[in-house]
Structure 1
């Protein structure tokens, strides 16, 4: 049975590697992935900080995906990352993580989530109830512009 739980600080490196594998699913070049590596890195400090929230999906102790939330602004969180193991993409893991994110927001009274998405994930975020509100330049690739979404929860 797939379980959603909070990430543990000692899982930071494993989550960072999962992010790169997941990004690679979309056939990005090795150079592109190398340029993104630092931005996709999850730190044990983030996973230990009460202002950050990281939910993982697991099956029999195997990590299937995760969602990392920056909660430093109390009412306006940002989805820092949402990645799923390539073999599990399209099997509902991302949706389950987004549902868990929404529930966490409700429990904590947070009403707005900002999401800088990958162009390959536009349909996913729209299906999750987000709306596109603009664009933002990539922190990894100069000149690359990424879609920006907003998800509100009541």
Structure 2
């Protein structure tokens, strides 16, 4: 049985990068409207991690906002080691004809590269599959394209960013329907 199907609340134990002797429990649970300010801090800190200029970060400040209403209206999930230790979050939204949009996937800078992004991505796929989606698509930060390719995603097209002068890749992944699959399938042209 797929590990995410066994227990969606406590996903699994994993070894933090560089700390192979230390096991950590990661819990992924639904966000609540009161998490909105914390979520915005994660988004801005994550963008800053990739070396974007202060001007770009300031400009994103108006666009990188998740309101309490947005949290109530969408499926937003937060990863935590404990109630005070938020590691990242993701969000999904089901559209018609089996297409799920991955709205968000953000990891705090201190935990980028430690497996949290992978856990969040796999959780998003599992949630999308539970909603009946056969494919998930999203706009990606250019710095995250390698991660998404590693997860089995494919490039669909480029779009103009909300901020002038930047193009964003749109990525996608097929979602396997079998309960015994890994949750993803490779895109074949």
TM bucket by the smaller chain?
over 0.9
CA contact (8 A) 2:42 2:108 kept: yes
Shift of 1:40: 1.4
Task: Using CA pairs under 8 Å that are at least 6 residues apart, name the structure with larger relative contact order, 1 or 2.
Answer: 1
The correspondence for 1:107, drawn from 125, 130, 148, is: 130
> Does 2:30 match 1:6?
yes
Give the TM-score of the pair, scaled to structure 2: 0.76
Number of residue equivalences: 150
> Does 2:148 match 1:125?
yes
Question: Residue 55 of structure 1 corresponds to which residue in structure 2?
Answer: 77
CA contact (8 A) 2:102 2:124 kept: no
Question: Residue 65 of structure 2 corresponds to which residue in structure 1?
Answer: 41
Distance 1:70-1:108 versus aligned 2 partners, 3 A rule: closer
CA contact (8 A) 1:130 1:149 kept: yes
Aligned residue for 1:2, secondary structure, equals: strand
- Consecutive unaligned residues of structure 2, counting only runs of 5 or more, are 1-24, 177-189
Aligned residue for 2:110, secondary structure, equals: helix
CA contact (8 A) 1:40 1:81 kept: no
Shift of 1:56: 1.0
> Does 2:102 match 1:79?
yes
Aligned residue for 1:143, secondary structure, equals: coil
Shift of 1:41: 0.6
- Consecutive unaligned residues of structure 1, counting only runs of 5 or more, are none
Question: Residue 148 of structure 1 corresponds to which residue in structure 2?
Answer: 170
TM-align CA RMSD:
1.1
CA contact (8 A) 2:91 2:124 kept: no
Shift of 1:9: 1.1
Question: Residue 31 of structure 1 corresponds to which residue in structure 2?
Answer: 55
Give the TM-score of the pair, scaled to structure 1: 0.92
